[in-house]
């Protein structure tokens, strides 16, 4: 599982026995359970090869019908 670090840690912090990566670094060699825990804790986000899904917005026309 590839993850991108979202949160910095104090100097000397470790991630699975190694120095904590910088914010924005991609890590791909952690056990899946460790990576999934970091994602669930919002400390990291999963990195996929797929482009992010486009957001859909309501048109103003739909909002004025209420």
Domains of the chain, residue spans:
3-49
> Looking at beta carbons, which pairs linking 58-64 to residues 24 or more positions away fall under 8 Å?
none
Q: What is the pLDDT of residue 27?
A: 96
pLDDT tens profile 15-38:
999 999 999 999 999 999 999 999
Residue with tokens 């486009």: 54
pLDDT for position 50: 75
């Amino acid at each position: 599982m590839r993850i991108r670090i979202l949160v910095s840690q104090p100097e000397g912090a470790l991630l699975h026995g190694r120095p904590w990566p910088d914010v924005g670094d991609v890590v791909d060699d952690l056990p899946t359970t460790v990576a999934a825990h970091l994602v669930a804790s919002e400390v990291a986000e999963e990195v996929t090869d797929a482009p992010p899904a486009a957001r859909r917005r309501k048109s103003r026309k739909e909002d004025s019908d209420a």
